[in-house]
Amino acid sequence: MTIAIFQHAATEGPGYLARFLDERALPWQLIRIDQGDALPEDVGAWSGLVFMGGPMSVNDDLPWIASVLALIRDAVARDIPVLGHCLGGQLMAKALGGKVSRNGVKEIGWGEVSVADNSEANRWFGKPESFTAFHWHGETFSLPAGAIQLLSSKHCGNQAFSLGKHLALQCHIEMTESMVRDWCALGADEITSAAASPAVQPASLMQEQMARHLPGLRQRAAQVYSHWVQGLPTRP
């Protein structure tokens, strides 16, 4: 069976996740919502669902959002693993009964996240007290009923939650060098308009710090993705 990866914006693809899956010969298919690809009619045809980021809000009146929320609920009900990155995590939160609202400040750039002191966080992230993730968001989610908080940051209390084999992330762990550069170029106006936020870095600094932070982020992402794929159906 194949993992469905949903892309909502041209520059917000699977990034390092694609390499991780390819190295383990785990089949995946990109469903480009941004290009009008049809959503799956039967979630049971997929081994797992992954939702990437995007500049839109889950509260926007977009024609595909209600269908995606229904897909997530169906997958969780059928115990098919779901993984969300940033917008994807917010979609998961909303689908499962949480709320998505404006965060106190925008977070854009490299920033430390703290790992919760619980066994579930250790299973997903290992046992560091914190690590540096990449951020690009102005909204945040609340925790759905039954979810366990895994990560937080100084400027955003909910950076990740799990619900069994399902994981929702507010921060980005999938980043590659080309993605950071592309986002900095395309998001230049947003960076400038939010420059007063204490959690927004200049584009030059984000790119200067890639060499320092990407290797550690990749290690943490491998830990997370390794745990997530353990929940996939066993292949014959």
Q: What is the pLDDT of residues 36-77, one digit of tens each?
A: 999 998 999 999 999 999 999 999 999 999 999 999 999 999
Strands 148-153 and 156-163: antiparallel
Q: Which residues contact 151 (CB under 8 A, 6 or more apart)?
A: 113, 114, 115, 116, 121, 125, 133, 158, 159, 160, 169, 170, 171
10 Å CB burial of residue 120 (0-12, 13-18, 19+) is: middle
Strand 130-141 with 100-115, pairing: antiparallel
Do residues 21 and 13 make contact, with C-beta atoms less than 8 angstroms apart?
Answer: no
Task: Tell me what pLDDT residue 234 has.
Answer: 78
pLDDT digits (tens, 9 = 90+) for 73-125: 999 999 999 999 999 999 999 999 999 999 999 999 999 999 999 999 999 99
Give pLDDT tens digits for 170-226: 999 999 999 999 999 999 999 999 999 999 999 999 999 999 999 999 999 999 999
| Count of CA atoms in the C-beta half-sphere (13 A) of 155 | 22
How confident is the model over 147-171, as a mean pLDDT? 98
3-class SS of residue 78: coil
Domain 2-229 is classified in which CATH homologous superfamily?
A: Class I glutamine amidotransferase (GATase) domain (3.40.50.880)
Percent of the chain with pLDDT over 70: 99
d(CA 31, CA 7): 6
Percent of the chain with pLDDT over 90: 98
pLDDT above 90 (res 235): no
* Structure tokens that stand for 13 in this block: 């693809």
DSSP 22-64: HHTT--EEEEEGGGTPPPPS-GGGEEEEEE---SS-TTS--TT
Quick one: which H or E segment has residue 85?
strand 82-85
DSSP 222: H
**What pLDDT does 199 receive?**
97
Angstrom distance (rounded) from CA 218 to CA 133: 10
What integer pLDDT is reported at residue 201 of this predicted model?
A: 98
Q: Is the model's pLDDT at 164 over the cut of 60?
A: yes
Q: At what angle do helices 16-23 and 210-229 cross, to 10 degrees?
A: 50
